[in-house]
Chain A
Amino acid sequence: MNAAPAATRTTYREALRMALREALARDPRVFLMGEDVGRYGGTYAVSKDLLEEFGEERIRDTPLSESAFVGAGIGAALAGMRPIVEIMTVNFSLLALDQIMNNAATLRHMSGGQFSIPLVIRMATGGGRQLAAQHSHSLEGWYAHIPGLRIVTPATLEDARGMLRTALEDPDPVLMFENALLYNLEGELAADAGAVDIDRAAVRRGGSDVTLITYGGSLGKTLQAAETLAQEGIQAEVIDLRTLRPLDDATIVASVAKTHRAVIVDEGWKSGSLAAEIMARLMEQAFYELDAPVARVCSAEVPVPYAKHLEDAALPQVPAIVEAAKKVVGRRV
């Protein structure tokens, strides 16, 4: 019997590329379009070499027309294709917000259920690279407000690879947010790693003293914080949300029922954030489990500044997560 293919050491970026390549090879309806995905190889090199492999019909460079090419993606999906639209970053997605909200999210319900829109939109998101205010947004929590969309935030190589596959098979629009700092993330990936679900959270680390809830680019920092806390005798359970819409209430509530304390780590601005939504759900569903108010670590309410020390102060960091957890557990910092 042949041995199963071993795991390979690879990156989040390459995992995405593998997923794209498989999708393009497997289904002739799939095509990729976006700015600089072809000749340039993708602004984050995710689609590098795909143009050579699949040609201009399947890998389409678009002009700087977010509204037009996102709308075209919606139309193409309605007409039988399975497009993957790459919006360079979430920052530019605002130019296509009308198409996303008023068409992609809405056409199905508005038409009385006559149409499905099997569209995947991928976007880079997040700050931390000194790119200043207009290039550092984390708006995935905002998009999670809109019914009709599915929002996924892969934080691991398996999820980067597997979620795209599942998203392409979904009959409804899926927005996939890739934190830009994750592209270089290295790890082991099984050669036969396949599709993963896109509606459940994952417990990345078990613990009984406090639940740390997070997603995407903040997962690494949260796990680091959990390590620090362990050294001080606080065992934190870390939940990776994986999907922001729909939220996996059951996993979150089960964890808090065990630990009675929670901290949410969310790179969005605090007010009206996804963290606020999770706090509301914990209030609704786990009120009698809470032994302390739920805490959250979010970005400071400020356009993200350029200077490194200012940007570091604006975004969630490991010490702040540790401090919040300790406070919630009842140990003074």
Chain B
Amino acid sequence: MPSLGADMEAGTLVEWQIQPGQEVKRGHVVAVVETQKGAVDVEIWDDGTVEQLIVQPGQKVPVGAVLALLRAPGEAPGAAAPGVTAPATPVPAPAPAPIPAAVAVPPTAAPRVKISPSARRLAAELGVDLATVQPAAADGIITREDIERAAQARKPAAPQPADWHARMRTAIAAAMSKSKREIPHYYLATEIDVTPVMTWLAQENLKRGVSERLLAVVPMMKAVALALHAVPGFNGFWVDGGFKPGAAVHLGMAIAMRGGGLVAPAIHDADSKNLDQLMADLRDLINRVRGGRLKSSEMSDPTVTLTSLGEQGVETVYGVIYPPQVAIIGLGKITERPQAEQGQIVARKMLTATLAADHRASDGHSGALFLAALGRLLQQPEQLSKTTDQKLSQ
């Protein structure tokens, strides 16, 4: 069966115009085939003798099927060669299965989360659980903004230490720069004999368990706080062109952060707490500085700052005032030094205390008075262990 057209797949033999034994020549019309377009004459392309008619009239066969066998000239009878046509192409594929009628699609199961592709990817990146996200839009579709908000809210009240530390350093840098730019610093220093307080401390610590022992700086803190009461102009803030004395003495304690930098959070009401309370507060502050868990009020409340760098081996501290404070007291290393006393050279435990102060709020005269008061207070350590209710002598 010849291929007669691009879309012909089969044909029906209508009639043969030859019979077995007949000689045919190339171009001879040998059959009539019915196609979808009508009846077509089929010609033969070879010379020869008809051997056998295979397909009968009325039969429908696909393109490529053998219709008859032809004997080539000179060939013996019985040696059959495919007759009318032998198409090189294979028989066409069977008719495709009938297209089924429309199928009812069952409704989908649980409703999906409605979220934009970009938001979904962002949630994966930030590790946000979609179940916890509240879309802001009325249509309930989650967007990038919703994911960003959820990621923010998920952060703990105190941020990761590393993060917090970085921010602290930035804040400190800004504060110190401002301080040096705007505050006219003046500096005073004095040597204080701390032998009495150190002796007293040693005895006090014998009464205390290891975990309650007072650090050397604690009586100093109390002495500073009380001295600030004695001499005005050093506890408070410089605001709006004038000095505002602090209502209480919130002592900012300079504490080193892990990873570098100092912060000076407040110990509130340092003047009215006893030494054990001050110690506890200090320990707590140190722990929280290490863990990065300070409250913002602790950072902004100090009315004055104390920095003690004796542990680091520094003898004299030239401090930088934390604005808007007006003073910073520095305590150096406690060393045994030779002192002249009543014509004798004795070894005394000495400490250099410095005052850096805002010259707009105070001057060297009052600064000197402050340091003198501090020195005097430290000569009577047993007085320091009392709380404010007890009056102190000048």
Which residues of A pack against B, CB within 8 Å?
260, 287-292, 330
Contact = CB atoms under 8 A, between A and B. Distances in A.
A290 B118 CA distance: 5
B137 A291 contact: no
Interface string B108-120: 0000000011111
B141 to A, nearest CB: 8
B121 interface: yes
Contacts of A287: 117
Contacts of B119: 291
6 contacts: A260-B116, A288-B121, A289-B117, A291-B119, A291-B143, A291-B144
Given A260-B144, A330-B143, A288 B137 contact: no
Given A291-B144, A292-B143, A330 B118 contact: no
Nearest to B144: A291
B137 A330 contact: yes
Given A288-B117, A288-B118, 11 more contacts: A260-B116, A260-B144, A287-B117, A288-B121, A289-B118, A290-B116, A290-B118, A292-B116, A292-B143, A330-B137, A330-B145
Nearest to B136: A330
Contacts, number: 25
A178 to B, nearest CB: 37
Interface hub of B116, B141, B144 (most chain A Cβ within 10 A): B116
Contacts of B141: 292
A291 B118 CA distance: 5
Contacts of B137: 330
Interface string B124-138: 000000000000010
A289 B121 CA distance: 9
Interface residues of B, number: 11
**CB-based closest 9 A-B pairs:** A291-B118, A291-B116, A288-B117, A291-B144, A288-B121, A260-B118, A287-B117, A291-B143, A290-B117
B174 to A, nearest CB: 29
A112 B137 CA distance: 56
A91 to B, nearest CB: 36
Nearest to A256: B118
A292 B118 CA distance: 8
Interface string B81-125: 000000000000000000000000000000000001111110000
Nearest to A330: B137
A290 B137 CA distance: 16
Contacts of A292: 116, 141, 143
Contacts of A330: 137, 143, 145
Contacts of B121: 288
A260 B118 CA distance: 7
A150 B386 CA distance: 94
A291 B135 CA distance: 13
A260 B145 CA distance: 11
A116 B121 CA distance: 47
Nearest to A287: B117
Contacts of A291: 116-119, 143-144
Contacts of B143: 291-292, 330
A288 B117 CA distance: 5
Nearest to A257: B118
Contacts of B118: 260, 288-291
Contacts of A290: 116-118
B146 to A, nearest CB: 10
Contacts of A260: 116, 118, 144
Contacts of B144: 260, 291
A292 B135 CA distance: 13
Contacts of A288: 117-118, 120-121
A165 to B, nearest CB: 41
Nearest to B116: A291
Contacts of B117: 287-291
Interface in B15-36: none
A331 to B, nearest CB: 10
A288 B121 CA distance: 7
Interface hub of B118, B119, B137 (most chain A Cβ within 10 A): B118
A287 B120 CA distance: 11
Interface hub of B117, B121, B144 (most chain A Cβ within 10 A): B117
A201 to B, nearest CB: 22
A275 to B, nearest CB: 20
A293 to B, nearest CB: 8
Nearest to B122: A291
A30 B23 CA distance: 67
Nearest to B120: A288
B168 to A, nearest CB: 32
A231 B82 CA distance: 85
Nearest to A292: B116
A287 B121 CA distance: 10
Nearest to A332: B138
Nearest to B143: A291
Nearest to A260: B118
A260 B121 CA distance: 12
A289 to B, nearest CB: 5
